Structure 1
């Protein structure tokens, strides 16, 4: 509709208010040429962009030339001569845009690696990897020039390619490091660069796993793993925790420890669901002051129990009735509770929901400390080191109701569809809100290897489903917890 078109058009117009203005827009448009099948040319035509600002108008005409001006190169000089007649042209944004577009056209048409390398070094930082012709991206000389001024995030993303060209290999005969190796290690260890780039620990973990593998997922690139690079990535991973924003909320993290958590994460297949859950648990424990971690098992019909007949003998009706008793009794005494200081009243005669599900399963706390590294957290989350655990994904919330614990955020990390228990997960969080009086308690379910099954109520704005996982999911979770989405 009209509002949508206007909003998209204003996104381009708002570059006028940024520090580098329209020349920065020219840089971004030539660097990020398309997304999801749409080019900027497509977007211009769909939003019917109109402007009286010369620099933006020139940029629009560059991507969407008017009739009779389809050949940009043939009309370049004539458009330039026309622009030069304007007063103050030499200091204008229009001149900067014209010069920058000329630079990008020169780079696009370059087929000599020495000339390309010289252009990258001379016009830094106006030329990025995306401006280099594809045929020159296999040149070690071009990459030597790119590495010098490449942003840290882009450098991390291209470590495999750089290594495959042999630029990060040490000279074993003289026991000396290459200039590029020293430069990359220094950038990875630079606290200032990591902070300014806002690199999330999860991004560094993925980079560490990918680089340590020695080849890309497709197998088209192979490289020799340099221990110095791996160590720098690992050091950067742990140090980056210092720059993660805290929310100040009270967390309960529930981690699925079933065997199926060895599946690969959707969106980040280089790591397993178990690794991702452990890393996120470690991150939350290190950055939040109030965080508890518990384990449950998503194995359907296999919760490490030995007495299935006793488990089957308990009817669903009795279980639900017991939970109703917990809720009703707590609600009756809710007026006497001073939240969040005083606990809910004790009821000795209220059945324990764990006893009703099975005597051989339980919810196990995982004692993760801020000093634990990832290997230690993975050991603590290993099924082989844990006693039998419940197969009920709602058990953490029911346990919080029973023990009168106060949490603002519940996060469930599982592979796909965990086993349904005595109550649906979305109903459990609603009961928790009612019983504790924490009406804005939030629930996040991260299905790391999702099969499309949703466990939350789509009509509840305080519940969120995450399908797969990447650094974008982390940003969304933070915004959700802080109430910004």
Structure 2
């Protein structure tokens, strides 16, 4: 046995399975990545449906709808989910059920789960699809009150921002919801917003233009005035001034405004870090990020700001995905092209290393196995990144954040330990991974190696570039044998970076997970599985 075993880990009770898969676990998987299964697919983006979430139906039929609501709220509040769609769909399903307490609970958390107008529109659309009663038939008292509370529960200035930045989605508009919810504004300032939404800016001017206004009403009036002004001006300096004075965002601008360097400079001052990272290519294409410019220096400083990176909970793999996409010099469809700026690339590389400290240790004992039976040069599904870079980056994250983590390279019949020091760079780790190349894949080998060398492991993470080579041993059965030998409920994650299907784990075993491809949410899914969330 490994003498470094954490004292809190019990090894006396033998077990061969990874725990029962309860309805709650299935529901949390659905909420996190849109599927109840033990497979996360980076490319898969299905619309939620009742067939996708049988666990929710089971909880409702068992009279546990209120518990399901709390699961929805908790997963939504913690963040890191692939999409808000599953949570909104789940709330819509619960709100249609006959369980009065569950329905009340679902509507009660709507303001928290729907953080944006876009999400509110999606919830209402899901309600419409589930009700089968048409647009008008579904608007009972409970839904009207919930929607009205969503609007009245916001600060008036925030609400003004919401209704101007996101006006409609999926056939719904704020005007529709105000009317159908029979909204009665909770304050004079919200009354102004309501007037703007339902009657337009001209009606607001006629009613409020010469009228004496309270401070709150004046703030909202001036904000809406700025939003309207920006629609009718081509003067880039005036646009920039309005952005800076009223903290307007990209959604308030016309397409022609985004061709101006002055406009981008103004947007940068209040732009969130996540939005900034998303638009690096666009800013380079518009010649804003020129070598040696003040704008480039400001952007690079923001990208490397440790406090901002921590506040945004930026994962190093998220930065890596942005960096690799930016280095390509064009977007997914190739319509937008730019020349990558060397200073920006260096800032992104620096941000990747700084973000390593954002990842909290799970306290588990890891073995990371990297399959080197074929060249790791292909691109992972769901990203622009090579499989070797992903394997190296994930290895770096785990070895830097976990106190007990060993890395092995494996191919048919061979397992070679790979020393990764605390100061190893991403490039150094990458070079170590590409030095070995063999023939066939046997994903059970890292588990067998740990067993033969008396390594007590909590989590096996295996990265493979091949599709469905099971090798001589089945990884699922090998893991069960390992669990029985050491008396630990070890977990297994197999990441097939270039395939949409693996079939190497037992879907009924709560301690096994497959990952197909790799995207910006994969690292969160892996962590949630390790920590027992899903």
TM above 0.5: yes
Distance 1:282 1:108 in 2: 48
- Which residue of structure 2 lines up, in the alignment, with residue 290 of structure 1? 404
Deviation at 1:209, TM superposition (A): 2.1
Tell me if the contact between 1:164 and 1:222 (Cα under 8 Å) persists in the aligned partners: yes
Deviation at 1:24, TM superposition (A): 3.7
Deviation at 1:38, TM superposition (A): 3.9
- Which residue of structure 1 lines up, in the alignment, with residue 529 of structure 2? 480
Greater Cα offset, 200-209 or 53-62: 53-62
- Which residue of structure 2 lines up, in the alignment, with residue 233 of structure 1? 348
- Which residue of structure 1 lines up, in the alignment, with residue 240 of structure 2? 117
> Deviation string for 1:362-404 (max 9, x for gaps)?
122222222111111111101xx22747621122122223333
Tell me if the contact between 1:216 and 1:222 (Cα under 8 Å) persists in the aligned partners: yes
- Which residue of structure 1 lines up, in the alignment, with residue 110 of structure 2? 11
Matches within 5 A, 1:113-152: 113-124=236-247, 127-152=248-273
Matches within 5 A, 1:152-163: 152-163=273-284
- Structure 1 pair 152–433 and aligned structure 2 pair: CA distance change class (3 A): same
Deviation at 1:23, TM superposition (A): 4.2
Tell me if the contact between 1:446 and 1:468 (Cα under 8 Å) persists in the aligned partners: yes
- Which residue of structure 1 lines up, in the alignment, with residue 295 of structure 2? 180
- Structure 1 pair 454–380 and aligned structure 2 pair: CA distance change class (3 A): same
- Which residue of structure 2 lines up, in the alignment, with residue 327 of structure 1? none
Distance 2:232 2:109 in 1: 32
In structure 2, the residue corresponding to 1:443 is in which secondary structure? strand
Tell me if the contact between 2:440 and 2:469 (Cα under 8 Å) persists in the aligned partners: no
Tell me if the contact between 1:446 and 1:467 (Cα under 8 Å) persists in the aligned partners: yes
- Structure 1 pair 396–21 and aligned structure 2 pair: CA distance change class (3 A): farther
Does 1:365 find its partner at 2:399? no
> Deviation string for 1:39-69 (max 9, x for gaps)?
7649986xx8677662698699689x7xxx5
Deviation at 1:266, TM superposition (A): 2.2
Distance 1:261 1:10 in 2: 46
Greater Cα offset, 409-418 or 156-165: 409-418
- Which residue of structure 2 lines up, in the alignment, with residue 464 of structure 1? 513
- Structure 1 pair 412–131 and aligned structure 2 pair: CA distance change class (3 A): farther
Distance 1:458 1:42 in 2: 43
Distance 1:62 1:411 in 2: 56
- Structure 1 pair 4–423 and aligned structure 2 pair: CA distance change class (3 A): farther
Distance 1:120 1:484 in 2: 41
Does 1:377 find its partner at 2:509? no
- Structure 1 pair 9–410 and aligned structure 2 pair: CA distance change class (3 A): same
Matches within 5 A, 1:176-325: 177-259=292-374, 261-268=376-383, 270-297=384-411, 303=412
Greater RCO (Cα-Cα under 8 Å, separation 6 or more): 2
Give the unaligned 5+ runs of structure 1: 171-176, 298-302, 304-360
Distance 1:286 1:469 in 2: 20
Tell me if the contact between 2:326 and 2:340 (Cα under 8 Å) persists in the aligned partners: yes
- Structure 1 pair 463–376 and aligned structure 2 pair: CA distance change class (3 A): same
Give the unaligned 5+ runs of structure 2: 1-91, 97-102, 116-148
Deviation at 1:422, TM superposition (A): 2.9
- Which residue of structure 1 lines up, in the alignment, with residue 135 of structure 2? none
> Deviation string for 1:151-201 (max 9, x for gaps)?
22222221111112222223xxxxxx3221221122123222222222221
Deviation at 1:231, TM superposition (A): 1.8
Tell me if the contact between 2:440 and 2:471 (Cα under 8 Å) persists in the aligned partners: no
- Structure 1 pair 472–182 and aligned structure 2 pair: CA distance change class (3 A): same
> Deviation string for 1:441-484 (max 9, x for gaps)?
22222222222333333322322222322232212222221222
Deviation at 1:91, TM superposition (A): 5.5
Tell me if the contact between 2:372 and 2:437 (Cα under 8 Å) persists in the aligned partners: no
In structure 2, the residue corresponding to 1:259 is in which secondary structure? coil
Distance 1:372 1:254 in 2: 18
Tell me if the contact between 1:23 and 1:97 (Cα under 8 Å) persists in the aligned partners: yes
Tell me if the contact between 1:164 and 1:221 (Cα under 8 Å) persists in the aligned partners: yes
> Deviation string for 1:87-141 (max 9, x for gaps)?
xx8356x7766665554454455544332211111112xx222222223222222
Distance 2:227 2:172 in 1: 16
Deviation at 1:287, TM superposition (A): 1.0
> Deviation string for 1:75-96 (max 9, x for gaps)?
5457869xx99xxx8356x776
Deviation at 1:143, TM superposition (A): 0.9
In structure 2, the residue corresponding to 1:117 is in which secondary structure? helix
Distance 2:170 2:516 in 1: 24
Tell me if the contact between 2:463 and 2:495 (Cα under 8 Å) persists in the aligned partners: yes
Tell me if the contact between 2:167 and 2:173 (Cα under 8 Å) persists in the aligned partners: no
- Which residue of structure 1 lines up, in the alignment, with residue 450 of structure 2? 400
Distance 2:466 2:155 in 1: 45
Tell me if the contact between 1:285 and 1:370 (Cα under 8 Å) persists in the aligned partners: yes
The alignment yields a C-alpha RMSD, in angstroms, of: 3.7
